[in-house]
Structure 1
């Protein structure tokens, strides 16, 4: 069979980095790791092609080649997925769909022939057996969770690596915490399941052999430090050894704030090549944290925790939410003050949404406060719940946060706050052609044409004299800020 694997379009959000990617000549941030993993589960004799519509158009001749289409996606890709599925059906192709979007909302896709829901390591083999015997059902689902040792390595040969800013890899699934607005535990459970260190190293070797010799590798785990013992004793020592001859590779991931409590773990992560970590801060208000069951963030000095992590050598990116029932009008200024004081440069602020499968969704449904499905896009200024605060007041406060923190003066001030605290491990490689291209484009677009040009040159001079070792980081963050401002202009004003 000829299998066409399609990744739908991501809209223009904070996470797309669309406007920043233009500086480095890339089309997308990361390839679709889910589809690459599924490719490893399909029969070896099948022919497979990957079309990521974030990097190139889906052409009629692609559809003409295929016998069947496999599609996956996140909720934020819903609109694009509908259009692609309609086009595939018009071409007479069978469509097989799986992944988070379809696991949560498969009833919204009437044209899909077969749904492979939950974790494909369990549900896909059963579908393939039934397909071979001409008895394939429409829906394959399971309440069980796969063991990560059963997950195949991604099919890197399907990827045109030069189109991407970074690569992705998965070490674990599941999260020990149970925040009520988060659907990770409903999708992947609370038991943290990990791959062996041998599996991870083999996947990295495959990625490296396929041509990824320099750049970011994103450990896509929802909480990388969910199993600290295995990290410290098995994986991180192996990563440290692996990177000794590969200094051009750096890692980033997601973790919980209790990372700040473990100096040994932070030290090992930095030595292994991690330099960035995304953390869900959500809110500085204790009442909001208690309301959403964010127990790991409660009763802490969150600003100090962020600074501890930054001083250890990990840049903190942060997720923030407004719209909790307990939020008062003062929360907007509190969020601004926290973000500025902490030096979290990349601050992703969204209105509270209730994804299906979450405790929040069930609570809002019971209270009659749901209005449709969550969009998955936390920057567009919408919510699928009826907030207790007047919505216009909530929206105005939310817009004020974004307009403030991504105003050039405040944004560049935050870069300097981070650079004063941030002490990453020194890199042992010279700038790449892509790095130099980004620098020259930033000089033209930000330093000459941009409305932030005064702040840009002030940062360039400051970093050159005060933190020359972090000059490249300063330019990277300036470019990221340009993207975030463009997104704010699209959604917020």
Structure 2
């Protein structure tokens, strides 16, 4: 059996980093970890070929070679997934689909032959068994959660690693919190499940053996969901692994209560973590209460962010506008919070009701659900009827983005971050590709860019005052170029 594992293209959004990646001579942020894991679960005699449309094209030759196609996608890839499915159907391939998009919306994809949903460790084996017997059904789903200590090592050998900015690794699934707008607990449960330390080290060894020496994204929705195991087992092992191997840096996602645990933060930094994404959502207490974001309530969120950055973790933040309790004053409040906190990479979106969430059910019960399909973070669209009025919400949202990603405000946040940030262990030597990206960015931003005055002010300040952080400064400047490009194309 010859199988294509196809990952549809991401749209051009803030999270795609496409314009930043061009300056860095990369094609995509990270590879499709789910498909690489599925590939490792297929019968060993099957021939496998990965086609990640974010780094390459799906050719007629690929389609002619294959017998079947496995397609995985997230919600934002819905449009591209339909195009992929159509091409596979025209080529006469049997289509198997799974992943978050199809788990939420499989009824909308009539051309798919078989759906393997939820956690593949549980649903893929019975499908493969039925397929071998010639009696495969259309839908394989489960409400149970997998023991991820039995998950296989991803098939890294299918990748052309040099096309990616980072590799991916999953340590845990599930989150102990229950935010109304988030579908993580609906998909993976409240009780965090973890891989063994031996598994994580084996995956890192696999990446290292394949020649990877860059960043690794721990894709957990809340990396600190099981603090006890982190402190007693995984982080000490990662610290030892870095001492013997080295050359990798890590980043992940966590909840803001990470800032309360100085020991945990210090261990993460020593292990090689330098960046953490945190869902801040809103500085407004009413919005936090409404959304069930209990872990963010009654805190000095600005000081929490600064504490993490002073400890060596750059904070990337997620923000939402459109809660029922929001008034037009929320837009200026969000701007002021983002500027004061020094969160350079601030991802702001309109509230969306994802299928399977408490918010979705509440909006449906209040007849405020416009559709099952959600917007993205550049279209200024939402699938709910907001209390403040859609036009007011959209204009306020655009105001936030225009303001925080203006060169003046963006570089001001960059400098504030660079003043606070105290990195941990020394980074590895700069690769030739990174040096090339640095020179390219100096030319594109420092000579041709409309923001060149602000660019040189911060770059020169960094060289004189924090020379150790010049890599971070150039990287953030490249990110800013991407964000402003997105704003000019879709928001302004």
Which interval holds the TM-score relative to the shorter structure? over 0.9
Q: For residue 415 of structure 2, what is the aligned residue in structure 1? A: 416
Provide the secondary structure at the position in 2 that maps to 1:40.
helix
With structure 1 as the length reference, what TM-score do the two structures score?
A: 0.99
Q: For residue 141 of structure 2, what is the aligned residue in structure 1? A: 141
Taking a change above 3 Å as real, the CA distance of residues 91 and 115 of structure 1, as seen in their structure-2 partners, is same
Q: For residue 477 of structure 1, what is the aligned residue in structure 2? A: 476
CA distance in structure 2 between the aligned counterparts of 1:248 and 1:375, rounded to whole angstroms: 39
Shift of 1:471: 1.0
Q: For residue 182 of structure 1, what is the aligned residue in structure 2? A: 182
CA distance in structure 1 between the aligned counterparts of 2:389 and 2:371, rounded to whole angstroms: 18
Whether 1:243 and 2:242 are equivalent positions in the alignment is yes
Instruction: Please give the per-residue CA displacement for 1:152-179, whole angstroms capped at 9, x wherever unaligned.
Output: 1100010000110110000000000000
Q: Are 1:88 and 1:95, in contact at CA under 8 Å, matched by a contact in 2? A: yes
Q: For residue 158 of structure 2, what is the aligned residue in structure 1? A: 158
With structure 2 as the length reference, what TM-score do the two structures score?
A: 0.99
Instruction: Please give the per-residue CA displacement for 1:182-233, whole angstroms capped at 9, x wherever unaligned.
Output: 0000011111000000000001111111121x21100000000000000001
Provide the secondary structure at the position in 2 that maps to 1:248.
coil
Moved more, 242-251 or 94-103: 242-251
Give the 5 Å matches for 1:452-491. Answer: 452-491=451-490
Q: Are 1:353 and 1:374, in contact at CA under 8 Å, matched by a contact in 2? A: no
Q: Structure 2, unaligned stretches of length 5 or more?
A: none
Q: For residue 44 of structure 1, what is the aligned residue in structure 2? A: 44
Instruction: Please give the per-residue CA displacement for 1:12-35, whole angstroms capped at 9, x wherever unaligned.
Output: 111111001111211101010000
Instruction: Please give the per-residue CA displacement for 1:128-173, whole angstroms capped at 9, x wherever unaligned.
Output: 1111111110000000000111211100010000110110000000
Q: Structure 1, unaligned stretches of length 5 or more?
A: none
Give the 5 Å matches for 1:95-134. Answer: 95-134=95-134
Q: Are 2:375 and 2:383, in contact at CA under 8 Å, matched by a contact in 1? A: no
Q: Are 2:375 and 2:381, in contact at CA under 8 Å, matched by a contact in 1? A: no
Shift of 1:391: 1.2
CA distance in structure 2 between the aligned counterparts of 1:374 and 1:220, rounded to whole angstroms: 24
Q: Are 2:73 and 2:100, in contact at CA under 8 Å, matched by a contact in 1? A: yes
Shift of 1:247: 3.1
Instruction: Please give the per-residue CA displacement for 1:356-409, whole angstroms capped at 9, x wherever unaligned.
Output: 000000000000000012435223200000001021111111100000000000
- Count how many residue pairs are aligned between Structure 1 and Structure 2: 492
Q: For residue 291 of structure 1, what is the aligned residue in structure 2? A: 290
Q: For residue 376 of structure 2, what is the aligned residue in structure 1? A: 377
Whether 1:302 and 2:301 are equivalent positions in the alignment is yes
Alignment RMSD (CA, Å): 0.8
Give the 5 Å matches for 1:314-393. Answer: 314-375=313-374, 377-393=376-392
Q: Are 1:286 and 1:298, in contact at CA under 8 Å, matched by a contact in 2? A: yes
Shift of 1:429: 2.6
Q: Are 2:3 and 2:67, in contact at CA under 8 Å, matched by a contact in 1? A: yes
Structure 1 stretches of 4+ with a deviation exceeding 6 A read none
Instruction: Please give the per-residue CA displacement for 1:315-374, whole angstroms capped at 9, x wherever unaligned.
Output: 000000000000011100000000000000000000000010000000000000000124
